[in-house]
Amino acid sequence: RTWPERTALYLESATALFVDAARNALADAGLAASDIDTVVTISSTGIATPTLEARAFREMGFRSDLHRVPVFGLGCAGGVSGMAIAARLARARPGSNVLMVAIETCTLNFRDDRLSKADVIASVLFGDGAAAACLTTGGEATTAAPIVGEGEEHLWPDTLGIMGWDVDAAGFGVIFDRSIPSFVETHFRDAAAACLARAGLSPGDIARFVCHPGGTKVAEAIEQTMGFEPGRLDHEREVLRDYGNMSAPTVLFVLKRVMEAGQRGQMALAALGPGFTVSMLPILLPEADDR
């Protein structure tokens, strides 16, 4: 498809995904769209101006004084960084409600005009998806709701060629370097430890890392560098098998499965994205009696 055709499909499908994910999150939180003060929209697989939350505005029923924070370019790290941004905004205005929505339509960027190894791998690895979450401060939680900490990031210098997009007349072309698993195995642990240290934590404080499963080899590399037993990232592999790598939303699918499995304690969301960057967010899943 041409770039205009891809963009038209993105505007239609990504807006529909936004509405679906946002409504589900609002229902889970017991909120109405009119209760939302700020929307953080994360997406890197298409361009929309006006942005997606504006396109979904009437259908959602948002207030006219809604604060809008669209974020482009974070790629696979967008789910973690988006949650961190939403948490900062919620803390900045106690009592406000912030909706974070991550939408990616990876398959719209399928390229049959160039068949590099990266393009072939991207075609079989990436899928479409959306996830959303509501964050607030100052309210009384009625359940053992997750408590979101301060997000941290680490950007490695001179790594722009590892992951991202290049752009030509047909649209986005994937940059997906084969060195990612070995890079993760060599560098991830120190960066993760530094991020956690800035948040007042250490790897030993984390009951479970909730990771974005960039691919099977990346999951294996994280397990090896962090000293996890093989297969530890089980929910990550399940999500990857069921949905593919959906880029930004994927880690929130993993988090949902961790919560549904009844796992509790100090967690850390982690994802790698263009830059090349690791984004990390401490998140406490308390027992019901702890609230």
Q: Which residues are catalytic?
A: 76
Distance CA 260, CA 57 (A): 31
The rounded distance, in Å, linking the Cα atoms of 54 and 148 is: 27
Residues shown for the chain: 291
Strand partners, 165: 174
Question: Could you give the CA distance from residue 241 to residue 232 in angstroms, rounded to a whole number?
Answer: 15
Q: Return the DSSP state at 77.
A: G
Q: How far is Cα of residue 159 from the mean position of the Cα atoms in its chain?
A: 20
Q: What is the C-alpha to C-alpha distance for residues 77 and 194, in angstroms, rounded to an integer?
A: 17
**Residue labelled with tokens 């929910």:** 235
Contact 210, 267 (CB under 8 A): yes
For 262: left if phi > 0, alpha if psi spans -120 to 50, otherwise beta; the answer is left
Q: Are 38 and 31 in contact (CB under 8 A)?
A: no
Residue 278 parent element (H or E): strand 277-285
3-state helix, strand, coil in the chain (%, to 5): 45, 25, 35
User: What 3-state class would DSSP assign to 153?
Assistant: strand
CA atoms within 13 A on the CB side of 6: 20
